[in-house]
Structure 1
Amino acid sequence: MRTLLLLTALTTLAFATAGCGDSPSTPAAAADGLGDTTQHGAPRVASPMVFANSAKKPCGLLTEPQLKTLGMPGVEGVAGAGDTGPMCDWDDTPGTSGQRVSFTFTKGNGNGGLDRVYELKSTFKLFELQAPIQDYPTLLNAPTDDRLKGVCTLVVGITDDQILTTTIQMRTTPKPAPRAFEPCVVAREAADLALTSIRTAG
């Protein structure tokens, strides 16, 4: 668990700043008239998500049917909170799927969202743009590139100033997980499920 939590914390803490609200603000595009990208080139979020309820109960991001979809039926989520923000972790690395899934919201609102990630991209070893998920902008982002070690971190902009970070860690030894070397594929699948849950819960 320490490896996963440290990776998630390093990624998220790098651009999280203090804030007290957890509901989306007015879309920046409407507020400042700057167009389709933010100050540092991140795509703006056309349809900001209402995420307050999900941030309060992050373990609700994966339902039992969704866990079955990921090959992790019956795995219990463990909630956590700290400097990075509310999160939940499902650990099945000893089990059949051999994987661990973690979601993290950055603490508070007004932390810069994807714009802050873009601003700090030179500090990350992994910064790779990805196709949107449910029309929400995404990228791979981490202090180190550990994809060949079964680790992937995917960031989704759910509002202009809030992101959802999905981190996958696969068992690679002694017996590799069935999908040990495609953690980013699993990250996209998990993030897609989580976005659906956010739409439902708000």
Structure 2
Amino acid sequence: MSTKWIKGALALALTGVVAGCGGPVDGKPTTGGPSSDSATPDDLHGAPNIANPLKVDKFIKHPCAVISDQQKESLTSSIQLPSTGKESAIEGLSNDCQWSGGGNNATVGLQFLQGGGGLSYIYAQRKELPVFEERPPIEGYPVLHEAQNKELPGDCRLVVGVSNHQAIVASYTGGTGDVEPCDAATKLATAAVQTLKAAS
């Protein structure tokens, strides 16, 4: 996950505070349901409005937990997901989970971003991105295939908006096998959204 992406998202969130559109309070990202997730069309920069936001609070510090053992077993079969994920924090702004060392040498990642504008941040810079592709929704939630830099063969990063100010990033990078990278990222993101819907 690019730190440029994270820093840019944080900057947008701080702009939202000045404008009174929600964002970090006392230095901490905001979370919550529809009442705190409202956004005007200008705030969204063309991104779809998410009428039924999902809560990520339960998983935000431990993103590996959003993939259940049953889901992991299925993903191990379909995308060769390694059995153990490793969690890490990026500059204190977000936590991510990475699985690596599978049979096709890919690194599979899942990350939650808070207070960064969600999909609206990406829509705001769409003209500058080498990859910007709207894809079919996952479980009713909008999906973007995007990249900050030129995308390499075997790589795919999908961003799923789970509220107007929060998003999941599912990535598949460096794969050398016959697994289609965006198909793998879609399956990972689908499992994550299903877990969030069940917990919301």
Aligned: 1:196 with 2:200: no
Q: Indicate how the Cα distance of structure 1 residues 74 and 170 shifts in structure 2: closer, same or farther if over 3 A, else same.
A: closer
Q: Give me the whole-angstrom Cα distance separating, in 2, the residues matched to 1:116 and 1:38.
A: 9
Q: Which runs of 5+ in 2 are unaligned?
A: 15-23
Distance in 1 (CA, whole Å) between partners of 2:154 and 2:161 is 23
**CA separation of 1:131 and 1:27: change in aligned 2, threshold 3 A:** farther
TM-score (norm 2): 0.79
Give the TM-score of the pair, scaled to structure 1.
0.78
CA distance in 2, matches of 1:22, 1:28: 8
After superposition, the C-alpha distances for 1:127-162 in whole angstroms (9 at most, x for unaligned) are 111110000001111112425x20100000000011
Give me the whole-angstrom Cα distance separating, in 2, the residues matched to 1:74 and 1:168.
Answer: 12
The residue that corresponds to 1:177 in the other structure is 177
Aligned to 1:15: 9
Say yes or no: does 1:132 pair with 2:102.
Answer: no
Task: Give, in whole Å, the separation in 1 of the partners of 2:195 and 2:66.
Answer: 5
**Shift in CA distance, 185/118, structure 1 to aligned 2, threshold 3 Å:** same
Displacement of 1:25 in angstroms is 4.7
1:56 deviates by 2.0
In 2 relative to 1, CA 201–78 (structure 1 residues): closer, same or farther, beyond 3 Å?
farther
Structure scoring higher RCO (CA < 8 A, sep ≥ 6) equals 1
Q: Which of 90, 99, 111 is equivalent to 2:106?
A: 99
Q: Do the aligned partners of 1:12 and 1:165 also contact (CA within 8 Å) in 2? A: no
Q: 1:81 aligns with which of 83, 86, 89?
A: 89
Alpha carbons 2:156, 2:182 under 8 Å: kept: yes
Indicate if the aligned counterparts of 1:60 and 1:197 stay in contact, CA closer than 8 A: no
Gaps of 5+ in 1: 1-6
Letter in 1 for 2:131: L
Q: How many residues align?
A: 182
CA-CA distance at 1:63 after TM superposition: 2.1
Taking only aligned residues, the RMSD between alpha carbons, in angstroms, comes to: 2.5
Q: Structure 2: how far apart are the matches of 1:88 and 1:143?
A: 20
Give, in angstroms, the shift of residue 86 of structure 1.
1.2
Alignment of 1:142-181 (within 5 A): 142-147=147-152, 149-171=153-175, 176-179=176-179
The residue aligned with 1:43 is 48
Letter in 2 for 1:82: I
1:120 aligned residue (125, 138, 161): 125
Task: Provide the C-alpha distance between the structure 1 equivalents of 2:158 and 2:35, rounded to a whole number of angstroms.
Answer: 22
Q: State the 1:27 CA deviation.
A: 5.5
| Contact 1:168-1:186 at 8 Å conserved across structures | yes
Displacement after TM superposition at 1:12 (Å): 4.0
CA distance in 1, matches of 2:178, 2:35: 41
* One-letter amino acid of the counterpart of residue 129, structure 2: F
Distance in 1 of aligned mates of 2:73 and 2:36: 37
The answer to whether the Cα contact below 8 Å between 1:22 and 1:51 also exists between their aligned partners in 2 is no
Gap change, CA 1:74 and 1:91, over 3 Å in 2: closer
Deviation at 1:97, TM superposition (A): 4.4
